[in-house]
Amino acid sequence: MSFIINSIPAVQSISLPQLQQQQLQAAVLRLDAVHPVVSGNKWYKLKLHLTAATSGNKKAIVTFGGAFSNHIVATAAACAAAGLQSYGVIRGERGKVPSPTLLQAAALGMQLFFTNRTDYRNQKIPDELLTLIADKEHIIIPEGGYSKEGMLGAATILDGINIQSFSHIMCTVGTGTTLAGLHLAALPHQQVIGISVLKNNYSLEASVQSLLPPEMIRPIQILHEHHGGGYAKHTPQLLHFMNEWYQQTGIPSDFVYTGKLFFAFQNLVAAGYFPKGSHVLLVHSGGLQGNRSLPPGTLIFGAE
Ligand SMILES: *Cc1c(COP(=O)(O)O)cnc(C)c1O
């Protein structure tokens, strides 16, 4: 399935004085630049679901997300491109002013259904939507794309990229699907490190392990101290860092995921975490659309 993304993402080397000082090398895998709307890891997590839908003659995709969810926009865009109807079950009430994310999803043809938090947590499909999909010609994708198919798709993130020279591969972690995929694709000598953007979500390691094939025993390394106050919370330090990182590298980031990844990386470097000679690949998982919820002018780079 190549109707949306068929280019190999760029690997951008970054040079910063603190890396040189510690004899470290680093590069960013620019998944944010693969597609203007379906950017980042979301496309990779969706692609096997979409293939299953189109090859099984399904007509629709049902999925779940919050009002600012990157997964919701990506699903809406990917379904529009694949000729599938998309249905989004959105956590919480329909707001008076819809979020930019939901406006965009609706403009891409997604039909939105709002649900209370308890029903959402149980991934319950609202009755109104059940009636619409009674013909069963649909596929359900769990919240955030957390699934074996999502992991297998995420494993293709590194396809076509010469990863041999890297000692560490780092990504940010929401559901852990992307991290699981990177574990599948990483070489035996590589350490895969996840930066959790959730506060105290210590069940993540088990969530990642349970996606992986049972015979694959790798230490699942997730750092839990870099959430910056919790999911989608931001501090002035983080926003300042994101602008500075952009000035130094030309790489935009988002405040929910990738800003926290790069900030964590910088802090780990400063703390002497990486052995001399390490070569770190930072996976930029996209998500820039999420910055639209910040007041205009907060960041020195645009939302997309
Ligand atoms: C959704 C998302 C993630 C989290 O990916 P998981 O596979 O759920 O861990 C990371 N980065 C960005 C930008 C995202 O939108």
Residue 155 has pLDDT above 60, yes or no: yes
Q: Please write the tens of the pLDDT for every residue from 267-278.
A: 999 999 999 999
Band the pLDDT of 290: cuts 50, 70, 90. Answer: confident
Q: What is the band of 2 on the pLDDT scale with cuts at 50, 70, 90?
A: very low
Residue 73's pLDDT band (cuts 50, 70, 90)? very high
Question: What's the pLDDT band for 303 if we cut at 50, 70, 90?
Answer: low
* pTM assigned to the model: 0.95
Do β-strands 25-30 and 11-14 pair in parallel, antiparallel, or remain unpaired?
antiparallel
pLDDT given for residue 3 in this prediction: 55
Ligand 1: list residues with CB < 6 Å: 40-42, 70-71, 144, 172-179, 254, 257-258, 285-287
**Using CA atoms, how far apart are residues 112 and 102, in angstroms rounded to an integer?**
8
pLDDT 10s digits, 219-258: 999 999 999 999 999 999 999 999 999 999 999 999 999 9
Q: Given this model, what pLDDT does residue 34 score?
A: 85
Hey, what CATH class is 11-37+157-293 in?
alpha beta
Tell me how far CA of residue 234 lies from CA of 197, 255, 260, 277, in angstroms. Answer: 11, 7, 9, 32
For domain 41-145, the CATH architecture is 3-Layer(aba) Sandwich (3.40)
Q: How do residues 184-220 score in pLDDT, each as one tens digit? A: 999 999 999 999 999 999 999 999 999 999 998 889 9
Q: Tell me the per-residue pLDDT of 118-137, one tens digit each, with 9 for 90 and over.
A: 999 999 999 999 999 999 89
> What would the pLDDT profile of 18-29 be if each residue is shown by its tens digit?
999 999 999 999
Which of 73, 147, 172, 261 should be mutated for ligand 1, with most atoms under 8 A from CB? 172
What is the overall mean pLDDT for the chain? 94
Query: Can you give the pLDDT at residue 6?
Result: 67
**Mean of pLDDT values over 131-158:** 95
- pLDDT tens for 35-55 read 777 778 999 999 999 999 999
**Best residue among 207, 253, 257, 292 to mutate for probing ligand 1, ranked by most atoms within 8 Å of CB:** 257
The whole-angstrom distance between residue 158's C-alpha and the CA centroid of its chain comes to: 15
Distance CA 243, CA 237 (A): 10
Name the 3-class secondary structure at 89. strand
Instruction: Render pLDDT for 84-97 as a digit per residue (tens, 0 to 9).
Output: 999 999 999 998 99
The pLDDT assigned to 106 comes to: 97
pLDDT at 36: 74
Helix (H) or strand (E) segment spanning residue 222? strand 221-223
- Tell me where in the chain the CATH 3.40.50.1100 domain(s) lie: 11-37+157-293, 41-145
Return the residue matching tokens 């999909």.
133
Q: 134 C-alpha vs ligand 1 centroid, how far in Å?
A: 31
The pLDDT assigned to 213 comes to 95
Contact between 48 and 149 under an 8 Å Cβ cutoff? The reply is yes
